[in-house]
């Protein structure tokens, strides 16, 4: 039987005086795409940061490939998961796309890990449509171009798990569609598992193998998109007075007045 890539047991997340979600139990298998869904303030980014080891959990355990992340050094954790944050707060100076990849490869070499081969790097560049951007400075890229470069950097890091926080934030509709297509293709082309947060429920339900849904009452539910739709979890969490999720069309619609 295949071992879980990500194993979450009795996890509670949040802060000392603000519990965000409790009793999260979830297993993710290698090569799966998992969407983390919830309204504003439900704790999507908090969960992702906790899974990445950037924020301590309140209780419970998170394991990647059988190793509890609390027991891993920073270097060992960096071998198991890579992170794509939203926004540009982690741009360093006048770094070029090419230099970003070279720096990631250099870190891998210094940590006694195999460098990503040139052919694999070229494959990543081709897949993420970065050929024309390879020698551009990160500061000159559009939001969509920058996001593709950050996803590519995570792939160069060669971790089995890639975590993405709002990968389509601030993107126009075309770049949003492209980014979701990229995410969907990553498991097949590179064999990685992907966990991503998003507000785009319809597209997430289309590409994800399974979803984790958080509501504002600290309740967490998970399942396949089909299960969450037919059990009306999506309708319950994401419908309001003016808008509801139609389980037949699988789209959000204005409610009849």
Angle, alpha carbons 142-165-105 (nearest 5°): 70
CA-CA distance, 216 to 247, in Å (whole number)? Answer: 22
Which tokens go with 48? 């992702």
CATH number of domain containing 106: 3.40.50.300
- For 182, the domain range is 6-223
* Domain presence at residue 195: yes
Alpha helices in 43-194 (DSSP H): 44-52, 74-80, 97-110, 118-127, 143-156, 173-190
The answer to the question of residue 127 being in a domain is: yes
Residue 130 lies in a domain: yes
Q: Specify the pLDDT at position 127.
A: 82
Q: Would 149 be classed as within a structural domain?
A: yes
Q: Say whether pLDDT at 2 is over 90.
A: no
Q: What distances in angstroms separate CA 125 from CA 25, 58, 93, 128, one per listed residue?
A: 36, 39, 22, 5
Q: Which pLDDT score is estimated for 222?
A: 96
Judge whether 173 lies within some domain: yes
Q: What tokens appear for 233 in the block?
A: 């979890």
Instruction: Give whole-number Cα distances, 39 to 70, 118, 158, 198, in Å.
Output: 29, 41, 31, 9
Q: For residue 21, give both structure tokens.
A: 């979600």
CA angle 56, 182, 208 (to 5 degrees): 60
Alpha-carbon span 9 to 29, nearest angstrom: 15
b/e for 223-252, b at 16 or more Cβ within 10 A? eebeebbeeebbeebbbeeeeebeeeeeeb
Query: Residues 70-116: pLDDT tens digits?
Result: 999 998 999 999 999 887 765 666 889 999 888 887 766 555 455 55
Kindly report which listed range (49-53, 204-208, 252-256) carries the lowest average pLDDT score: 252-256
CB atoms within 10 A of CB 34: 22
Residue found by looking up tokens 């958080």 in the block: 214
Inside any domain, residue 250: no
Domains held by the chain: number: 1
Contacts of 149 (CB under 8 A, 6+ apart): 97, 100, 128, 130, 133, 138, 141
| Consecutive H or E run containing 254 | strand 251-254
Q: Give 132-169 pLDDT, tens digit per residue.
A: 999 999 989 888 888 889 989 999 889 999 999 999 88
The Cα 138–Cα 92 span in angstroms is 9
- Rounded Cα gap, residues 118 and 175, in angstroms: 27
What pLDDT does 113 receive? 55
Q: Is there a domain that residue 228 lies in?
A: no
Q: Which residue has the higher pLDDT, 51 or 92?
A: 51
């Amino acid at each position: 039987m295949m071992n879980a890539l990500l194993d979450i047991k009795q996890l509670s997340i949040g802060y000392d005086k603000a519990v965000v979600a409790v009793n999260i139990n979830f297993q993710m298998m290698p090569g799966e795409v998992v969407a983390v869904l919830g309204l504003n303030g439900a704790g999507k980014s908090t969960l992702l940061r906790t899974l990445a080891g950037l924020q301590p959990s309140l209780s419970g355990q998170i394991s990647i490939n059988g190793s509890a992340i609390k027991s891993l050094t920073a270097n060992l954790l960096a071998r198991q998961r890579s992170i794509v944050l939203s926004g540009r707060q982690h741009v360093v100076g006048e770094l070029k796309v090419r230099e970003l990849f070279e720096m990631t490869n250099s870190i891998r070499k210094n940590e006694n890990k195999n460098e990503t081969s040139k052919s694999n790097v070229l494959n990543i560049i081709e897949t993420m449509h970065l050929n024309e951007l390879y020698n551009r400075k990160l500061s000159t890229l559009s939001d969509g171009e920058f996001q593709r470069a950050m996803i590519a950097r995570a792939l160069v890091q060669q971790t089995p798990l890639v975590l993405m926080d709002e990968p389509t934030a601030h993107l126009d509709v075309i770049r949003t569609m492209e980014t979701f297509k990229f995410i969907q293709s990553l498991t097949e082309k590179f064999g990685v598992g992907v966990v991503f947060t998003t507000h785009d429920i319809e597209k997430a339900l289309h590409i994800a193998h399974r979803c984790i849904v958080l509501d504002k009452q600290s309740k967490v539910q998970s399942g396949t998109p089909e299960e969450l739709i037919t059990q009306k979890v999506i309708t319950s969490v994401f419908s309001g007075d003016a808008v509801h999720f139609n389980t037949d069309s699988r789209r959000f619609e204005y409610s009849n007045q």
